């Protein structure tokens, strides 16, 4: 007999299987599921109901989550204004009373399961010691001086004791079984039984193994796969404990048993293959529904009504998913995990939407209130230019601020408009009054402009320059003119520069006087002064870079008559740039 093949087939037959529970747990309520766990916990072998216990656990939490989700959805559906969402929407709630009760029942089952496993491990360890001792006793039989008949009787007793000893740890089973058969073979070889006694023993073993085969064949008609599988396991265990048969029959009898075992395994495998195909189709359908739920998140949901519509669609898809039915344990767990993931993603996004909307509205209102408070703080200011610019910026901020419900923002807008109107009305009145005062200055400047126009150069240039400077000084003392008549300032300084040109001054002196006039025209215009300063500094920086480049170029010139003219030309450019820098610095000093 091929013992390795026998052991391999035994392990194959021992593969655990599952059978659909006689009770449809999916139709039970949460209270009934707890009661069902309590009933199953009373089973002698807790492991025989572990699959159903896990199924009940999955069903319980699914029903609990559905109930909690419906409560949350009902609350969300009653919300009309997103701003009024309760502050504690995301607060973690205490455990559901039924969940507390469920955890107690489930914990009781786990405790019994642990105690059963511990007891079984102790029994298997004890059985291992017993069987090891049997092997030792069989080995000792070959060393005794008793008669063959008496020795053989002792051997039969040990064989029976072996058969009646229970399971040993799985990790030790194969080696122990091989060791047992090895010592049995040694025993037969050692005692050299007479042919009659040996043949009698072989015949009895053949009859017993033939009966095992007949029982295996009868299992083909068994409808329950679990019963068939368990019985085949027991027959294989029985087979291992029956002694050898005549050499010529060993392979034949083993092949018969092996063949019927294959048929039984094929029947079982065909069932699970078919069931696997059905489950694969169901799983594909369930996963397709999960994908539809995930796709709901891809829609641009920016309103409460849109989320209500999506939630109804999600509920319909979840009902369709449950209507497909249960799967095998592994696939069922995968399917439930996929559904939970899809639903969690959907409801997390939904909750995030309401939370974000509430925060956005709150932030928008706070931002608008901050703008109003700034405006109210400035409404009585007399810094007409600076405050006016600030309020215009605040108006732009209000325009670009986020949307807030009208009933919340209208009151804030009225405050903001009142503050702005208060300032701008006061500024308008101020400038209107100021323009009246400036009309007098304009009249005086117009008269002075005519006086400059009538100025004629004399033979005394110094005296003429003094006179023109007096015109410039007097112009500065006359004050501001109305904004719509400010062109008169440019007319005056343009005219003044032309009068300086008529005096025939040197280019440097003329440029100096004209720049002074330019500075006078910039007085009071800070932006223009700053712009002129940036211009002058930019030219100075550019000239400094030019000088650095010229000096760097000189360092590459060699010594000789051919390079001297070029070197002299570069030095002249450096000197010219330095003078120009000094002039620009002088203008900067004038601006200060």
In this structure, is residue 65 part of a structural domain?
no
Map tokens 């696997």 to a residue: 276
Q: How far is CA 418 from CA 142, 379, 406, in A?
A: 117, 9, 18
**Backbone CA torsion sign across 6, 275, 60, 350:** positive
Coil, strand or helix at 259: helix
Q: What per-residue confidence (pLDDT) applies to 510?
A: 57
The phi, psi pair for 367, rounded to 5°, reads -65, -40
CA distance 496 to 514: 8
Last residue in a domain, options 402, 429, 456: 429
Give the pair of three-digit tokens for residue 286. 């369930």
Residue ranges of alpha helices (H) inside 379-506 are: 384-400, 406-453, 461-477, 487-502
Map tokens 């390079």 to a residue: 563
What's the maximum distance between 2 C-alpha atoms anywhere in the chain? 167
CA distance 271 to 265: 10
Q: What per-residue confidence (pLDDT) applies to 102?
A: 87
CA distance 294 to 289: 9
In this structure, is residue 541 part of a structural domain?
yes
Q: What per-residue confidence (pLDDT) applies to 562?
A: 62
Could you report the per-residue pLDDT of 144-190, keeping only the tens digit for each?
666 667 777 888 888 888 888 888 888 888 888 888 888 887 777 76
For the chain, the domain total comes to: 2
Tens of pLDDT along the chain (592 residues)? 434 433 433 333 334 444 444 578 888 888 888 888 888 888 888 888 888 888 888 888 888 888 777 666 554 444 434 434 444 444 456 788 888 888 898 899 888 889 888 888 888 889 889 988 988 888 787 776 666 677 778 888 888 888 888 888 888 888 888 888 888 877 777 665 555 667 777 888 888 889 998 988 898 888 888 888 889 888 888 888 887 888 788 888 899 988 989 988 888 888 888 888 888 888 888 889 888 888 887 777 777 788 888 889 889 988 888 888 887 777 788 888 888 888 888 888 888 777 777 777 788 788 888 888 888 898 888 888 888 899 888 888 888 877 777 777 788 888 888 989 998 898 888 877 777 777 778 888 888 888 888 888 787 877 877 887 787 778 777 777 787 787 888 887 788 777 777 776 655 665 666 666 666 666 666 777 778 778 878 888 888 888 888 777 776 666 666 667 777 777 777 887 787 788 778 777 777 7
CA distance 12 to 264: 11
Last residue in a domain, options 429, 446, 461: 429
In this structure, is residue 182 part of a structural domain?
no
In this structure, is residue 67 part of a structural domain?
no
**Can you state the angle between helices 304-323 and 50-77, rounded to 10 degrees?**
160
CA distance 134 to 128: 10
In this structure, is residue 373 part of a structural domain?
yes
Q: What per-residue confidence (pLDDT) applies to 113?
A: 86
CA distance 326 to 309: 28
In this structure, is residue 415 part of a structural domain?
yes
Coil, strand or helix at 13: helix
In this structure, is residue 107 part of a structural domain?
no
378 is in which domain, residue-wise? 364-429
In this structure, is residue 308 part of a structural domain?
no
Last residue in a domain, options 429, 455, 481: 429
The answer to whether 53 touches 314, Cβ cutoff 8 Å, is no
Burial class (CB in 10 A: 0-12, 13-18, 19+), 580: middle
């Amino acid at each position: 007999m091929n013992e390795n093949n026998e052991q391999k087939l035994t392990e194959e037959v021992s593969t655990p299987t599952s059978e659909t529970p006689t009770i449809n747990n999916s139709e039970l309520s949460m209270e009934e599921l707890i009661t069902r766990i309590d009933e199953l916990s009373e089973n002698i072998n807790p492991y025989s109901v572990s699959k159903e216990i896990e199924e009940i656990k999955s069903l319980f939490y699914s029903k609990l989550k559905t109930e909690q989700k419906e409560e949350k959805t009902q609350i969300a559906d009653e919300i009309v204004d997103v701003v009024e969402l309760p502050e504690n929407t995301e607060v973690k709630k205490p455990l559901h009373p039924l969940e507390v009760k469920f955890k107690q029942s489930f914990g009781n089952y786990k405790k019994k399961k642990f105690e059963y496993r511990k007891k079984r491990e102790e029994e298997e360890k004890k059985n291992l010691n017993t069987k090891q001792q049997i092997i030792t006793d069989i080995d000792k039989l070959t060393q005794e001086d008793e008669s063959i008949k008496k020795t053989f009787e002792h051997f039969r007793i040990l064989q029976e004791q072996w058969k009646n000893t229970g399971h040993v740890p799985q990790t030790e089973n194969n080696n122990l079984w091989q060791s047992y058969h090895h010592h049995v073979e040694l025993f037969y070889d050692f005692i050299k039984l007479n042919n009659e006694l040996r043949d009698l023993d072989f015949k009895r073993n053949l009859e017993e193994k033939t009966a095992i085969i007949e029982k295996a064949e009868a299992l083909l008609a068994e409808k329950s796969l679990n019963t068939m599988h368990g019985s085949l396991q027991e027959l294989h265990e029985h087979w291992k404990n029956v002694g050898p048969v005549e050499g010529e029959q060993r392979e034949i009898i083993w092949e018969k048993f092996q063949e019927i075992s294959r048929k039984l395994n094929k029947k079982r495998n065909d069932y699970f293959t078919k069931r696997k195909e059905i489950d694969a189709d169901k799983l594909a359908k369930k996963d397709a529904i999960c994908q539809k739920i995930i796709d709901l998140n891809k829609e641009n949901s920016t309103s409460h009504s849109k989320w209500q519509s999506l939630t109804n669609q999600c509920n319909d898809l979840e009902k369709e998913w449950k209507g497909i039915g249960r799967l095998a344990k592994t696939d069922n767990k995968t399917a439930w995990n996929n559904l939970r993931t899809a639903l969690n993603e959907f409801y997390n996004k939904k909750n995030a939407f309401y939370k974000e909307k509430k925060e956005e509205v709150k932030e928008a209102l706070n931002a608008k209130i901050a703008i109003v408070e700034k405006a109210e703080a400035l409404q009585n200011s007399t810094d007409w230019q600076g405050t006016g610019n600030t309020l215009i910026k605040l108006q732009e901020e209000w325009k670009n601020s986020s949307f807030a419900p009208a009933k919340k923002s209208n009151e804030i807008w009225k405050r903001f408009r009142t503050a702005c109107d208060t300032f701008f009305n006061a500024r308008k009145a101020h400038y209107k009054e100021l323009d009246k005062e400036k009309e007098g200055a304009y009249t005086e400047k117009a008269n002075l402009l005519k006086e400059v126009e009538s100025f004629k150069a004399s033979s005394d240039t110094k005296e003429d320059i003094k006179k023109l400077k007096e015109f410039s000084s007097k112009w500065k003392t006359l004050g501001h003119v109305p904004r719509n008549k400010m062109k008169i300032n440019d007319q005056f300084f343009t005219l003044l520069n032309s009068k300086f040109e008529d005096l025939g001054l040197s280019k440097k002196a003329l440029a100096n006087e004209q720049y002074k006039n330019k500075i006078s025209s910039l007085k009071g215009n800070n932006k223009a002064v700053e712009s002129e300063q940036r211009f002058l500094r930019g030219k100075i920086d550019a000239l400094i870079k030019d000088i650095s480049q010229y000096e760097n170029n000189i360092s590459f010139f060699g010594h000789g008559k051919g390079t001297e003219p070029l070197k002299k030309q570069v030095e002249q450019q450096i000197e010219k740039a330095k003078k120009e820098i000094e002039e620009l610095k002088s203008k900067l000093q004038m601006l200060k």
